Structure 1
Amino acid sequence: MDQMIDEPLDRLRAAARRTRELALNRPSTGLSHQDADVVGTIGTDDAIGFDPFPLLEALHRSGVRVVVIGQVAGIMHGSTELTGDLDLLWDGTPAHAPALAAAFTSADAQLIDDKGNPVPNHPGSFLRPKAQFTSPGASGDCCTPALPWGDLQVQEFLDHAITAVDPGGLEVHYVSRQDLIRMRRALGRPKDLRRADELDSQLPA
């Protein structure tokens, strides 16, 4: 497993700060991360007050291996597009679910259904292929490998993940660049294809 020190997390902190600045005093749109297929969540209410670090810190303390995917991972790889949501992937092992649920609870995160109604932060709720959540700093999806990604075997992506470490000891696991590109292409939404092209263009010739 590769490890990179500090720079990806500095990049993420700067991007989150810029997102909060851009969303400050912006009128509510009524849109969430589920309504962001083209522009991305920077154009939705999820960008208001965006700060993924409280939840990332709670997940680090939990000891459960959770991997950041989506545009937060893209930013950690150098993408210049801002985002307002946090998407996560974990292995879906039932024995890990209680610690995961406790981590979400400690960060004041709440699971929600497709209509935005609260779902109990019970360990069993995290065993679904995708659990949607909202928190004071970040909203998004917490997925297991059971969520379909076309013909991709995303279980392998957990093993390929990179770990960023900051001087305070926070560890954040995030999907590798190549695996993120593959996930983007499999989803195929306008924002995913655009961001996959951006990551592709950053690879050495």
Structure 2
Amino acid sequence: MTDDPLERLSAAARRIRELAHERPPTGLSHEDADDDAGTIDTDGALGFDPFPLLGAFQRHGVRVVVIGQVAGIMHGSTELTGDLDVLWDGTPAHAPALAAAFASVGARLTGETGEPLPLRPESFLRPKVPFTSPGAGGDCCTPALPWGGLPVRECFDRAVTAVSPSGLAVHYVSREDLVRMRRALGRPKDLRRADELDPPAPAPDA
């Protein structure tokens, strides 16, 4: 396995597209994902390519931090995914650049009950906004999203950065914070993925 986080993500995205291409559409979006299998079993995996959106964030000068299983893959997780979850700081002054980045890749927004939202800066001020785009769908979150008491703003501030040879800079949550976020959510897939990145200590000998 390569040590480069963006090479890991690129290889995983190719594998996801290959696997999804071999199966019929499911009719399920990332919002319908099973708490055990995750979004790899949904149509979000079809044509999965997070790089256009990640590049748009950089071009529009907005700091966005990758969370969820894409961050897990960048840290070395072998589990595949079908969505791209991101975190931004929620500052209203930064919302126009964020909206412009999403618009540049043809993204669409919905409310949490599935109603369409206009792709305007104010739509992103909600704690969580589900989105779809030609390459990747997922959730765009702010630190206001409740996360089991976890100080999400601190996770945003402690994010690490990977830079590709072409100059693409991608910010993603640290391994330690990702494990904390996983354990705070507590779904079967989260606990399994947390254990993958931070295996529990072996039980002492009886």
- Partner amino acid, structure 1, of 2:20: A
The range that moved more, 31-40 or 181-190, is: 31-40
Distance 2:113 2:44 in 1: 15
Q: What TM-score results when the alignment is normalised by the length of structure 1?
A: 0.93
Distance 1:13 1:113 in 2: 30
Secondary structure of the residue aligned to 2:198 is helix
Distance 1:92 1:62 in 2: 16
Partner of 1:11: 8
Partner of 1:3: none
- Partner amino acid, structure 1, of 2:134: P
Shift of 1:117: 3.6
Tell me, yes or no, if structure 1 residue 35 matches structure 2 residue 32: yes
Shift of 1:188: 0.6
Shift of 1:202: 9.8
Distance 2:163 2:115 in 1: 35
Tell me, yes or no, if structure 1 residue 83 matches structure 2 residue 99: no
Q: How does 1:108-147 map to 2 (within 5 A)?
A: 108-147=106-145
Secondary structure of the residue aligned to 1:201 is coil
Q: Which has the larger radius of gyration?
A: 2
Distance 2:156 2:60 in 1: 17
- Partner amino acid, structure 1, of 2:16: T
Shift of 1:187: 0.5
Percent same amino acid at aligned positions?
75
Alpha-carbon distance change, 165 to 202 in structure 1, aligned in 2, over 3 angstroms:
farther
Shift of 1:25: 3.9
Tell me, yes or no, if structure 1 residue 164 matches structure 2 residue 124: no
Secondary structure of the residue aligned to 1:147 is coil
Q: How does 1:95-114 map to 2 (within 5 A)?
A: 95-114=93-112
Distance 1:46 1:114 in 2: 17
The range that moved more, 59-68 or 23-32, is: 23-32
Distance 1:108 1:135 in 2: 6
Distance 1:67 1:160 in 2: 10
Which runs of at least 4 in structure 1 moved beyond 6 Å after TM superposition? none
Distance 1:157 1:137 in 2: 26
Tell me, yes or no, if structure 1 residue 200 matches structure 2 residue 164: no
Shift of 1:118: 2.4
Tell me, yes or no, if structure 1 residue 148 matches structure 2 residue 155: no
CA contact (8 A) 2:112 2:129 kept: no
Distance 2:123 2:160 in 1: 27
The higher relative CO (CA closer than 8 Å, separation ≥ 6) is in 1
Shift of 1:130: 0.2
Distance 2:41 2:62 in 1: 31
For 1:58, which of 39, 48, 56 is the aligned residue?
A: 56
Q: Provide Cα deviations, 1:123-171, integer angstroms capped at 9, x if missing partner.
A: 0000000011000010000000000001111100111100000011100
